A and B are shown apart, each in its own frame.
Chain A
Amino acid sequence: MEIVERLLKGDAGAAARLISMAEDEDPRAVKALSALHAHTGKAQIIGVTGPPGAGKSTVIDQAVKVYRKKGCKVGILAIDPTSPFTGGAILGDRIRMQQHSTDPGVFIRSMGTRGWTGGLSKGTASAIKILDALGMDPIIVETVGAGQSEVEIVRSAHSVLIVEVPGLGDDIQAFKAGILEIGDVFVVNKADREGADKAVAELRAMLETCQEPRAWAPPVLKASARDGAGIGEVVDALDSHFAFIKQSGAKDLKDRASAEREFMEVLRDRLAKYITEKVVRKGEFDALVERILRRQLDPYSAAEKLLEPIEKGK
């Protein structure tokens, strides 16, 4: 495929088009992605999450500077919410990163969640692969502004950076389950503001008391992303974490789990499609839905009835 060849030669336009096709579920994207698979699995994938307005985009903007100085090519996927009512979205994360927009070693793509919950978007997994094949390393995924349970990123990323800010709540917030459990590196941004040291202390206390001892102790750092202070240390910590999981074998486990999940998802999609297109006669599906709706049939028995011939036949 022409688009695959162009992408493997480093054509950003080809990567951009392929991401759109994957997001729109264009059948051509499947072919391209299967051709790309062999060229992926090289990059460090970093998830960045935290509450809206904490400064995730600004932290990333400054981290890109550090990575560029080290000679890395950086891919960024910035996810913002899609309206559940109109399907529209304002994608504004890259406002903070526009200084890198003409740098050929940086690729930034904004994505709408398009009905996905958990902080990521429908096309995120495919977009990660595409940027990986384009030769970007690291690939930084910025989730939507997260509340307490947008933890989906932990499944896609090797390292998760949590951006917090001073003054968001007392130590009870830090005790709760959810987002704070998935951090590999923590940074209290806007550290020039009052309460930064208290926020750092509370996060450290949470990490020390609330979790079973782990081989990796997540560092809690301070930064002021507006002027870049402390960002070098954040990048160093992400590097150390990646080296650590490579050495401990945790990276292999993570990669294996995500390969398994991806395969299951593809199987499930294909199977559902096969059943609704090939097994069910035209109109039969709607008729079954109608009967389920009228409580004449339950969904479990309906599924059983549909799958019976397949299970018997093979």
Chain B
Amino acid sequence: MERKIRVLIAKPGLDGHDRGAKVVARALRDAGFEVIYTGLHQTPEQIVSTAVQEDVDAIGLSCLSGAHMTLFPRVVELLRERGADDIIVSGGGIVPEEDVPKLKTAGIAAVFGPGTPLKDIVEFHKKALRKR
């Protein structure tokens, strides 16, 4: 039995900058992960519902619009409501330094800002296996 790690890469909110999300998706693919990519303009409800149907181990959120303080914690909250809060959630995009501790308190396991080596993101997700 080989346990494959599945990661959902999602873009909540209204910005159209998906370059970063695609680069991360590609890096995870090349590291042997199954990456589910949902495209732009996703609501937190869509993201969580997708994560449940796809039974992912982790969710990577990318937001460059500045709405991360609303959208990222909302995803964690909805996961909790669905009983799926063992899914590890990380975030990336333009997130000011002072927001990072607040996001971590809200349940975002890691924040990957601009310039983060792809290797770090890959290593982070290698440990993201959910208990079955």
Contact = CB atoms under 8 A, between A and B. Distances in A.
B31 interface: yes
B53 A98 contact: no
B46 A98 contact: yes
Nearest to B35: A90
B41 to A, nearest CB: 9
B55 A88 contact: no
Interface stretch (A12-20, A137-145, A231-239, A265-273): A12-20
B21 to A, nearest CB: 11
Interface in B1-44: 1-4, 6, 25-26, 28-39, 42-43
A8 to B, nearest CB: 17
Contact of A109 (B39, B53, B83): B53
Given A16-B53, A27-B1, A88 B82 contact: no
A20 B29 contact: no
A95 B132 contact: no
Interface string A82-120: 110011111110110010011000011110101000000
A88 B28 contact: yes
A288 interface: no
A21 interface: yes
Interface in A49-99: 82-83, 86-92, 94-95, 98
A26 interface: yes
A245 to B, nearest CB: 29
A252 B25 CA distance: 43
Interface residues of A, number: 32
Contact of A91 (B3, B34, B43, B83): B34
| Chain B contact surface mostly | mixed
Nearest to A94: B38
A150 interface: no
Contacts of A102: 43, 45-46, 49
B99 interface: no
A92 B39 CA distance: 8
Contact of B54 (A86, A92, A109): A109
A103 to B, nearest CB: 9
**Complex A-B, nearest 9 residue pairs according to Cβ-Cβ distance, in ascending order:** A88-B29, A95-B39, A16-B55, A87-B32, A20-B55, A101-B46, A88-B32, A25-B1, A86-B32
Given A26-B1, A88-B32, A91-B36, 20 more contacts: A13-B82, A17-B55, A26-B132, A82-B34, A87-B32, A89-B34, A90-B25, A90-B26, A90-B35, A92-B36, A92-B37, A95-B37, A98-B46, A101-B38, A102-B45, A108-B53, A109-B53, A110-B34, A112-B4, A114-B4
Interface of B: 1-4, 6, 25-26, 28-39, 42-43, 45-46, 49-50, 52-55, 82-84, 132
